[in-house]
Structure 1
Amino acid sequence: MARAVAETQFLENEALSLLGRLEMVKPFALNTPMVRAAAISAEAQNGITFLLNRVSQEVKQKIEAYIAWLKNPSNASAPASEAQARFAYLKLRFNNLLDQLDIFADVLSQRGEHNTGVWLAGLDVLAMDALSLRGNFYHPPPLVCFVERGHGAAIRRARTRLPGGDDNPVAVIQVPRERLIGSGIASSIVHEVGHQGAALLNLVDSVKEAISEKIAEGHDEYAWQLLDRWISEILSDFWAMANLGIGATLGLMNVVSLPSYFVFRVATDGPHPFPWIRVKISIVLGNALFPHLQWKYLEKKWESFYPPNKQKGDIRRTIRSLERILPSFADLVVNHRPKSVKGQALKEIFPVADRQPAHLQKLFQRWRYASKLMDSAAPTLVFAVLGQAKSDGNLSTVEETHLLQRLLTRWALIRSLHHCGAGNQHVVEAVQHSQINFTKQQLQLL
């Protein structure tokens, strides 16, 4: 049955309404207030702008083509149901565009918050540092951070599908607001960066192949199967450990310090190890990368917080089975040689030598008297040094917070000035050498 003129006019008006709303979709550069230092990186900004412009143009063309189709006399005999179906598809695509817009709007709107926006820009720099490996195995995508309510961190990885099927140009890392600001936030952020890095290197599938060989041997088969199920999260914890040292485990302990029931709840249907064993895995991996007595002390502390001997028999048996193979598992991970890293062992592509406890302790003592050395250090190294100092009892939480606020601001400002171009190199150098040095009060904190 051919559609009536009234039906055609109704659908045309609805399509024109979509066009009107589409014109309200503006580039973030025009409607997002923030100081320059709080801005996301130029690469991230360009990627988001290009994506939204491309999808907007596509939607506009589809709407205009639909209106032309409605007005074409040769299509007058098409039933109203077909015209409605075509419009419904247009509306879905338009809503996909708005979903994508909202994903990035949630991130960028926080950049207008006083202090928080600049700190988030500093955390962007930390995240990019954690993703940049010395072997040039991939071109790292841009990363942006934002804070959210809730307990856990998360990542929407770059080069994955957005609503509507478009490729995400930017990795978006969500961290809990309650973790601002302390060394624990680095553990969460670098863990999420690890998910992106592991995907770029195809680490999960590669390590799973090695684990499958252990399963085939038939010894502690159930324990190896559990590790295989959890390997994605474990590799991200490993990424954090390789960059941050003991600070990664301390941050993890803070995240999973829950009522005992949840700490020992062995769920086999999810990607996360149960919290008690997850901390133990982190400790074993830490000892494999950075041998030191501190891991024994940390292990005893964790077991004093959550004594495993108070658990039911089946949980204790699972724990014993996992603990029995953890040294072998840690050796497998740190010495694994994926094809994606050109035959090198995983421990060789991370700054493991620079994260040894003795070296971190030496750096902290040196930075007490030469603060500019801290200013020029890589962000992950700074967090590793402060995490080690905190573990050693040489840095209080208050002191740490003041230092990190200053350093995050510095990293954000230097990045923003570098984006200004070569003509502002004198400004960049002024910031690096004098304008944002430690105040006397901050020197006293060290």
Structure 2
Amino acid sequence: MDVRRLSGSLLELEARALLSRLDQIRPLALHETMVPAAALPPRASLDVERFLHTGRKVLRSQVRDYLAWLRGPGRTATPEEQQYRFVLIRMRFNAILSQFDMFTEVVTQRSENRTGVWLSGLDVVAADALVANPLIVDPPPLVCYLARGPGAAIRRAKTKMPGGDLSPAAIVRIPRERMVGHGIASSLVHEVGHQGAALLDLVPSLRKELAEHRAKAGSAAPVWRNWENWISEIIADFWSVATLGMSSTMGLLAVVSLPRFFVFRPSGDDPHPIPYVRVLLSCAIGNELYPHPQWADMARTWKALYPVSALPPARQQEFAAIEAGIPAFVKVLAGHRSPTLKGRRLRETFPLAERQPARLLELHRTWKNDVGVMARQRPALVFAVVGQARAGQLITPEAESQLISALLRAWALRSSLTSTENVTTNRRALVRAS
């Protein structure tokens, strides 16, 4: 048999097999079972389904075009050309599967008992934390899922997924070990801060300002270079502290409580600050935004847990220089202005008045851990109140876990009922219009 006919026949069968497997991929709405309260936010669900449907539709068209070419002009093409075109399509097919699997991982956990509803509640918290800064307009949908390991992560909306397509939603990975307590909000809002900083284009403008300070810093220039290198993570921590207060710093301390080697290890190219420094930065940001002795107390406690005196003299000097530079850096950070901030300083774009420690404790006394009352408040504010109460030892870890679990269920249920009500209202409006 002619080698062109043989290769063409082989590749045609492979291409038809791709179509067959592609047709077996069902929409996520038909793929998983879950209680309504555990479902993705309506906009996220719609955007994701459209995104995946479009990908499958385009790929199906590409496979059919390839088959038509293979049966027509491609019959006389070289086996190498036939294979080259097929490989490109198969790579696209694998990218589509990777995208589907990514969102399937998010949706699958929604079927787990309790976990699914908790995740839906965290979706609500994430959405509220993003718009804690009122300059965020038309925020993208955010969806959460749990994973092993101590670290959280985010795939921001409109960033590239496998295959180069832009993600229709922000996907936030939460450490499973953080469920359920105030610390979950610290990890979640830090990742939300990455999305918020990207929407406001804060990292480039901050790096530019920090470079200007470094140029004038003389012997302190290496410290300012650290701030430049770490700013993408520091701004996310700033967002978290500005939104959650002490709840953010306590949650961070739990994440970076590691063996000494890791706490003091140089970060190298890692954009995360050295863990020892990161906690001190969080305390300094908190004190800048919400002046209170609690921040100095937390910093002293952290230093006692990881004494620098046990390090070699050169490392002690390094950390002394970094720590001495923190106050000036934090003032620059909080006072940063950029075009996207519309003339305001960064600190002025967050609801700082209602996050002051005294105000949070007052709310804690007023609410009396009443789930019915607290569920009607803004979720990010509630986590700030609970974290402040925990810092003041006004609530036990056991009571805190039960309270937050109940609140996540309440927010998930309210979100589900609101979505159902909106659908019903829209249907009635369409009926009246017809």
1:218 deviates by 2.8
Query: Following the alignment from structure 2 to structure 1, what is the Cα–Cα distance between the partners of residues 369 and 174?
Result: 33
Look up the match of 1:29: 29
1:366 pairs with 2:349: no
Structure 1 residues 266 and 98, CA gap change in structure 2 (3 angstroms): same
1:317 deviates by 1.1
Q: Secondary structure at the match of 2:212?
A: helix
The correspondence of residues 339-350 of structure 1 with structure 2, limited to 5 A, is: 339-350=339-350
1:373 deviates by 3.3
1:337 deviates by 1.2
Structure 1 residues 371 and 124, CA gap change in structure 2 (3 angstroms): closer
1:135 deviates by 3.0
**1:24-52 alpha-carbon deviations (Å, 9 max, x no partner):** 11110011111100001011111111111
Query: Following the alignment from structure 1 to structure 2, what is the Cα–Cα distance between the partners of residues 268 and 370?
Result: 47
With structure 2 as the length reference, what TM-score do the two structures score? 0.95
1:319 pairs with 2:319: yes
Look up the match of 1:438: none
Q: Secondary structure at the match of 1:138?
A: coil
Structure 1 residues 118 and 370, CA gap change in structure 2 (3 angstroms): closer
Structure 2 residue ranges without an equivalent (≥5)? 426-434
1:209 deviates by 1.2
Query: Following the alignment from structure 1 to structure 2, what is the Cα–Cα distance between the partners of residues 77 and 122?
Result: 59
Q: Is the 8 A contact 2:371 2:406 kept in 1?
A: no
1:207 deviates by 0.9
Query: Following the alignment from structure 1 to structure 2, what is the Cα–Cα distance between the partners of residues 376 and 349?
Result: 23
Q: Secondary structure at the match of 2:163?
A: coil
Q: Secondary structure at the match of 1:235?
A: helix
Q: Secondary structure at the match of 1:67?
A: helix
Q: Which moved more, 1:2-11 or 1:398-407?
A: 2-11
Q: Read off the aligned partner of 1:191 and give its amino acid letter.
A: H
Look up the match of 2:429: none
Q: Is the 8 A contact 2:130 2:136 kept in 1?
A: no
Q: Is the 8 A contact 1:246 1:387 kept in 2?
A: yes
Query: Following the alignment from structure 2 to structure 1, what is the Cα–Cα distance between the partners of residues 33 and 422?
Result: 25
1:214 deviates by 1.0
Look up the match of 1:412: 412
1:110 pairs with 2:109: yes
Look up the match of 2:331: 331
Q: Is the 8 A contact 1:264 1:315 kept in 2?
A: no
Look up the match of 2:431: none
Look up the match of 1:4: 4
**1:189-214 alpha-carbon deviations (Å, 9 max, x no partner):** 00000011111111111111111111
Query: Following the alignment from structure 2 to structure 1, what is the Cα–Cα distance between the partners of residues 422 and 125?
Result: 23
Look up the match of 1:443: none
RMSD, aligned α-carbons: 1.5
1:43 pairs with 2:58: no
The correspondence of residues 94-133 of structure 1 with structure 2, limited to 5 A, is: 94-133=93-132
1:313 deviates by 1.4
Q: Secondary structure at the match of 1:4?
A: helix
Q: Which moved more, 1:247-256 or 1:204-213?
A: 204-213
Q: Is the 8 A contact 1:263 1:275 kept in 2?
A: yes
Look up the match of 1:238: 238
Q: Secondary structure at the match of 2:420?
A: coil
Q: Secondary structure at the match of 1:420?
A: helix
Query: Following the alignment from structure 2 to structure 1, what is the Cα–Cα distance between the partners of residues 262 and 140?
Result: 35
1:267 deviates by 2.2
1:179 pairs with 2:178: yes
Q: Which moved more, 1:260-269 or 1:162-171?
A: 260-269
Structure 1 residues 88 and 424, CA gap change in structure 2 (3 angstroms): closer
Q: Read off the aligned partner of 1:18 and give its amino acid letter.
A: L
Q: Is the 8 A contact 1:12 1:70 kept in 2?
A: yes
**1:148-184 alpha-carbon deviations (Å, 9 max, x no partner):** 0112111111110011111100110101111100100
Look up the match of 1:80: 79
Q: Is the 8 A contact 1:121 1:412 kept in 2?
A: yes
1:261 pairs with 2:261: yes
Look up the match of 2:402: 402
Q: Read off the aligned partner of 1:99 and give its amino acid letter.
A: S
Query: Following the alignment from structure 2 to structure 1, what is the Cα–Cα distance between the partners of residues 215 and 413?
Result: 53
Look up the match of 1:70: 70
Aligned positions, number: 424
Look up the match of 2:137: 138
Q: Is the 8 A contact 1:417 1:424 kept in 2?
A: no
Look up the match of 2:169: 170
1:75 deviates by 3.5
Q: Read off the aligned partner of 2:184 and give its amino acid letter.
A: I
Look up the match of 2:221: 221
Structure 1 residues 51 and 341, CA gap change in structure 2 (3 angstroms): same
Q: Is the 8 A contact 1:62 1:90 kept in 2?
A: yes
With structure 1 as the length reference, what TM-score do the two structures score? 0.93
Q: Is the 8 A contact 1:3 1:78 kept in 2?
A: no
Look up the match of 2:148: 149
Q: Is the 8 A contact 1:194 1:237 kept in 2?
A: yes
1:308 pairs with 2:315: no
Look up the match of 2:432: none
Q: Secondary structure at the match of 2:171?
A: strand
Percent same amino acid among aligned pairs? 43
Q: Is the 8 A contact 1:215 1:221 kept in 2?
A: yes
Q: Read off the aligned partner of 1:110 and give its amino acid letter.
A: Q
Look up the match of 1:92: 91
Q: Is the 8 A contact 1:245 1:286 kept in 2?
A: yes
Look up the match of 1:271: 271
